[in-house]
Amino acid sequence: MPSVELRNINNYICRDVTLTAQHGELLALMGPTGAGKTTLLNVIAGLVPYEGMVLFDGVPVDKLSPRKRRVAYLFQNFCLFPHMNVYENVAFGLQVQGLKKADIELRVRELLCLFRIEHLSERYPNKGLSGGEKQRVALARAVAPWPKVLLLDEPFNSLDFETAKYLRVELVKLQRTLKITTLYVTHNQREASEIGDRIAIIHQGRLEQVGKHSQVFFGPKNNNVSSLLGSPNIFHCKTFFPLTASLAEVELNGFSLVVPYDGLSIEKIAISQWNIYISREKPPGPQIDRLRGLILEIAYHSPIVRVSVSCGKEQMVLEVQEQLWDETGLHEGDDAFLILPLRWIKVKSCERDLHCMRSITGPSTTNHSVKI
């Protein structure tokens, strides 16, 4: 039974949205600014008017006010109560429900311990709590009254890249520990793919597509989805050789790559045009996932430059910031080196045993540089 189910949700932004999140799932809601992602969370929390049905564990909650829906909502910037210390923040949801003082004390201490913030219990949010500590306090406060659903609205938007990355990992760990159904709003594809069990693409109030990241990435349902995800370079795999338990070498049309491997047959590989690096000089290090190609076309779409490069018998498209591109000094007809970071190569696997050539040898580095 799905933990959260939306049926035909309509309001001033949402257009007939039907969506389910399974029990314990972390579903990333992705879409451009103004797409209706936050509104959808507000619908689930009962903070905005809507038509349609919202069900928790199969039970409609439309007639319940926000305070009775048992939803934990983490807004941007965490929204801690600045006039309460950490202990009082975490205890707030329990106090307003009229629990006994001893029970509140027990629950709060348990959560402070779980979130590793016992030492901060007397501190006020604006008096020396770091971004990570604020996040943990906000999460502890959110889950204190035993909510059924956790809603997160771009909680790391205002943080720097490194802190946000670290906190995302922490969040996923905690979400797995608590096994709470979570809907996470983001407009960042990287973030969505990193933390979401599945991704739901929202555009102009409509649910365009929902599925695992690789499903959406390799098979965008329509132009709205593909324009949001970008137009990735997708290549069909001819053969592949498992190298280790988690890596395989795939033979493509005129070149080969080392890609992540999950034990299933590799059907296609894809890499986004934003995640390919280009250089005039031969990159240092082992020549794995480094390709040599010929620049076919350069198109300026300020502030982005779109570059088409021929590699083997395939054509690869990449996008670079105009300023960075000018620094490379490359022109049409020049040879260039492409670097495809392993972590950004997406693999579409299938159950069928396709073109697998069992091998225990290392990657055939000679194939990686394609002479033009």
Partner 1 sequence: MNRPQKIRPWWGILPVAIFLALWEGAARLNLMPGQLFLPPFSVVMQEFYYLIASGVLVDNFLSSLVRVVIGFCAGSIVGLIIGTFMGWKEILNKTFNPIISLVYPIPALGWLPLLMLWIGVNEMLPITIIFICSFFPVLYNTITGIREVNKEVINTARTLGASERHILIRVVLPLALPNIFTGLQLEAGMAWRVVIAAEMVAIPTGIGALMMRAESLIRVDIIIVCLIVLSLMCLLFERSFAYLGQRFTSKWK
Chain residues that interact with partner 1, rule: CB under 8 A: 45, 47, 66-73, 75-77, 79, 81-85, 92-93, 96-97, 124-127, 141-142, 144-145
Q: Please, what is the end-to-end C-alpha distance for the chain in angstroms? A: 56
To partner 1, the closest distance from the beta carbon of 75 in angstroms equals 4
Question: How far apart (Å, rounded) are the C-alpha atoms in residues 349 and 261?
Answer: 9
Query: By C-beta, is 71 or 202 nearer to partner 1?
Result: 71
Query: By C-beta, is 125 or 312 nearer to partner 1?
Result: 125
To partner 1, the closest distance from the beta carbon of 105 in angstroms equals 18
Query: By C-beta, is 156 or 255 nearer to partner 1?
Result: 156
To partner 1, the closest distance from the beta carbon of 297 in angstroms equals 47
Query: By C-beta, is 126 or 223 nearer to partner 1?
Result: 126
To partner 1, the closest distance from the beta carbon of 153 in angstroms equals 9
Q: Look at residues 28, 31, 25, 35 and name the one whose alpha carbon lies nearest to residue 2.
A: 25
Question: How far apart (Å, rounded) are the C-alpha atoms in residues 341 and 254?
Answer: 19
User: 21-55 burial by CB neighbour count: b if 16+ within 10 A, else e?
Assistant: beeebbbbbbbeeebbbbbbbbbbbbbbebebebb
DSSP state of 210: E
Query: By C-beta, is 74 or 174 nearer to partner 1?
Result: 74
To partner 1, the closest distance from the beta carbon of 34 in angstroms equals 18
Q: Are 237 and 250 in contact (CB under 8 A)?
A: yes
Query: By C-beta, is 144 or 202 nearer to partner 1?
Result: 144
Question: How far apart (Å, rounded) are the C-alpha atoms in residues 200 and 152?
Answer: 14
What the block records as the tokens of 341 is: 């970071």
To partner 1, the closest distance from the beta carbon of 204 in angstroms equals 24
CA geometry: angle 146, 50, 212, nearest 5 deg: 65
